[in-house]
Structure 1
Amino acid sequence: MNKSLAVQTKKLTKVFPGNEAVKNCNMNVERGTIYGLLGPNGAGKTTLFKIISGLLTPTMGNAQVLGKDIVSERDIILSKIGTIIETPIFYEHLSAAGNLGIHLAYMKKKPGDIDAVLSKVGLSNTGVQPVSKFSLGMRQRLAIARAIIHKPELLILDEPINGLDPMGIREMRDFFIALVKEQNMTLLISSHILMEIEHIADTIGIIKDGTIVREVSMAELKSESPSGLEDYFMDIMTGRKENENTI
């Protein structure tokens, strides 16, 4: 594996009964960058994230995460990544701080500065309020706090801004950029809000029918498509970009 890569997959495939969810998928995520994974519903984004996170075993192919094989060295990888995949589950009767404390204990990490992390995600004033009383946006902020509390090298976030209001989305956008710059973290993120990915990503991967059909830096994308990410994405989805390349 190229040491400059945080994630590298080769011919990665996951087959469920009657469904080949990921097909010969090749992905390259540079360390210390933000990689935005885009695709329509059912394209394979969540399945791919689950494989990279060690939650699913690939049927075929290979995935290297932080220089380790996700199958044979899964436990080592899990201690170095933070994730939000699908709906986060919490101890509903506990506070935000209580949930983070349990997570740190489970990860066998020293108690970190829980208050500082809660402040960074905008939950510093929740006190002893149980999570059962949290709004959807507050729960999503707590999920982000839990994903970063142990200072992972790689952060994998599947639709992390769901439930956030416009101010919250802006706050999290700036927060993610700062994490990567200040902690040399790598961020792999998906979102259906293309504009937000366009604001923060260094590289874009587009997945269609289980396969990454395009991987491009934002600089290259802007050169190819001056009108921006939305038009570029739609051209890929409709086949217009491929047709242009064959002319």
Structure 2
Amino acid sequence: MEFESAVKISGLVKTFNQKEVIKNCNMTVSKGSVYGLLGVNGAGKTTIFKLLLGLLHPTAGQIEIFGKDIQIGENCILRDVGNMIETPIFYEHLSAIENLEIHLSYMGIQNTDIQKTLGTVGLHDIGNQPVSQFSLGMRQRLGIARAIIHQPKLLILDEPINGLDPVGIREMRELFKDLVKKHDMTILVSSHILSEIEHIADVIGIIVDGSIVQEIELATIEKDSADGLEEYFLNIVHGGMKQHA
């Protein structure tokens, strides 16, 4: 039986210095969807992403990616995952192409069209320019290129449009939609720019104080909430904070 969930988190707990930062968290990301993870600073978004990527290990609970327990088959599973979390780090003295070549070598992948991927994210004709000379927006584009170059099944993006101008934001929006429709990717994305999440997400997950307190289809919000996603999010967050206070 083929699993319909790209990501399934059950009873997830992560403790730092005897303090629970992720608390009995449950989450389901359907295959072929864009899932927007929303929360205020410090709510636990990036911690969940790091747990999904094996950069942190759960204190309790289970994480499944495409039906496989990540704690059992981590290396095999993560070959199907691309990611960009926090500020992307590169070899500054090397070009974009050289950075991607190193990444592919690390992944054990060959025969990938690097120039095509760079063109896909809008980095045309950059030649051998070292990354140290890149603008913030160019670095962000390169980070997205690195995340998608091995054609992952799951793409995890933390604030992917940070530093992009309005043209770049629109281009990335169309790219994300294209990756889902034409390349059968699933995207899990966080952003503080709620209007952008409204443009691309199928499902919204809202995290408050380390727990997912709401998972809802964006279409339902648009149908039932006249004030849109921003007002819906703020109402949930403020209500959730009062409950946790």
Q: TM tier, shorter chain? A: over 0.9
Distance across 2 between alignment mates of 1:111 and 1:161:
28
Structure 2 partner of 1:153 = 153
Question: What's the C-alpha RMSD, in Å, of the aligned pairs?
Answer: 1.5
Instruction: Give, as a single letter, the amino acid of the residue that structure 2 aligns with 1:126.
Output: I
Structure 1 partner of 2:140 = 140
For the 8 Å contact 1:6–1:154, the answer to whether it is kept is yes
Structure 1 partner of 2:208 = 208
TM-score normalised by the chain length of structure 1: 0.95
Please state whether the residue corresponding to 2:48 is helix, strand or coil: helix
Structure 1 partner of 2:186 = 186
Alignment of 1:56-71 (within 5 A): 56-71=56-71
Distance across 1 between alignment mates of 2:29 and 2:149:
22
Alignment of 1:29-178 (within 5 A): 29-178=29-178
Summarize deviations over 1:215-234 as a string: whole Å, max 9, x none.
Answer: 00011112221221001001
Please state whether the residue corresponding to 1:206 is helix, strand or coil: strand
Instruction: Give, as a single letter, the amino acid of the residue that structure 1 aligns with 2:80.
Output: K
Identical-pair percentage: 60
Distance across 2 between alignment mates of 1:18 and 1:62:
19
For the 8 Å contact 1:35–1:189, the answer to whether it is kept is yes
Structure 1 residue 223 corresponds to structure 2 residue 223 = yes
Distance across 2 between alignment mates of 1:41 and 1:19:
17
Please report how far the alpha carbon of residue 7 of structure 1 lies from its aligned counterpart in structure 2 after TM superposition: 0.1
Q: What count of residue pairs does the alignment treat as equivalent? A: 242
Please report how far the alpha carbon of residue 143 of structure 1 lies from its aligned counterpart in structure 2 after TM superposition: 0.3
Distance across 1 between alignment mates of 2:109 and 2:141:
21
Question: What residue ranges of structure 1 are gaps of 5+ in the alignment?
Answer: none
Distance across 1 between alignment mates of 2:186 and 2:236:
26
Please report how far the alpha carbon of residue 2 of structure 1 lies from its aligned counterpart in structure 2 after TM superposition: 7.7
Distance across 2 between alignment mates of 1:6 and 1:200:
17
Q: Which runs of 4+ in 1 moved over 6 A?
A: none
TM-score normalised by the chain length of structure 2: 0.96
For the 8 Å contact 1:104–1:111, the answer to whether it is kept is no
For the 8 Å contact 1:101–1:111, the answer to whether it is kept is no
Please report how far the alpha carbon of residue 110 of structure 1 lies from its aligned counterpart in structure 2 after TM superposition: 1.3
Distance across 1 between alignment mates of 2:45 and 2:224:
24
- Summarize the Cα distance change of 1:2–1:61 in structure 2 as closer, same or farther, 3 Å threshold: farther
Distance across 2 between alignment mates of 1:40 and 1:19:
19
Please report how far the alpha carbon of residue 22 of structure 1 lies from its aligned counterpart in structure 2 after TM superposition: 0.7
Summarize deviations over 1:166-207 as a string: whole Å, max 9, x none.
Answer: 111111011100111000100000000000001100000000
Question: What residue ranges of structure 2 are gaps of 5+ in the alignment?
Answer: none
Please report how far the alpha carbon of residue 135 of structure 1 lies from its aligned counterpart in structure 2 after TM superposition: 0.7
Q: Which moved more, 1:142-151 or 1:70-79?
A: 70-79
Please report how far the alpha carbon of residue 67 of structure 1 lies from its aligned counterpart in structure 2 after TM superposition: 1.6
Please report how far the alpha carbon of residue 19 of structure 1 lies from its aligned counterpart in structure 2 after TM superposition: 2.8
Please report how far the alpha carbon of residue 79 of structure 1 lies from its aligned counterpart in structure 2 after TM superposition: 0.6
Structure 1 residue 25 corresponds to structure 2 residue 25 = yes
